[in-house]
Amino acid sequence: MKCHYIYTEDGLKVLIPGCWSVVMSGDIRDCTCRDETFAAFESERYNKTVKALRKQVKDLEQENIQQNRIIKNLLKKLRKKQ
């Protein structure tokens, strides 16, 4: 289970650590617990894949621009020769 707080009957907020970082520091901001649900895991994997694909699209668009430039220059040279 991830680090979380519970409330005692007296209304006291008590930190329940789920990872060693928080056990050592007592500060939930140091939490290194990972989401363990399948949905969370899938979501993380999905986001990584989308990010990678977006980068690929960007790279391909860049390559497309460069190749269009080359074609344009080649066409110019061809026209000059005619």
User: CA 80 → CA 52, 67, 72, 74, distances in Å?
Assistant: 42, 20, 13, 10
Stretch that binds Zn ion, among 16-24, 36-44, 46-54, 59-67 (CB under 5 A): 16-24
Closest separation between CB of residue 3 and Zn ion, Å?
3
> Running DSSP on this structure, what letter comes out for residue 82?
-
* Cβ closest to Zn ion, residue 14 vs residue 65: 14
Q: How many residues bind Zn ion (CB under 5 A)?
A: 6
| Alpha carbon distance 5, 13 (integer Å) | 6
**Contacting Zn ion within 18-77 (CB under 5 A):** 18-19, 22, 31, 33
* Cβ closest to Zn ion, residue 5 vs residue 46: 5
The answer to whether residue 15 forms part of the interface with Zn ion (CB under 5 A) is no
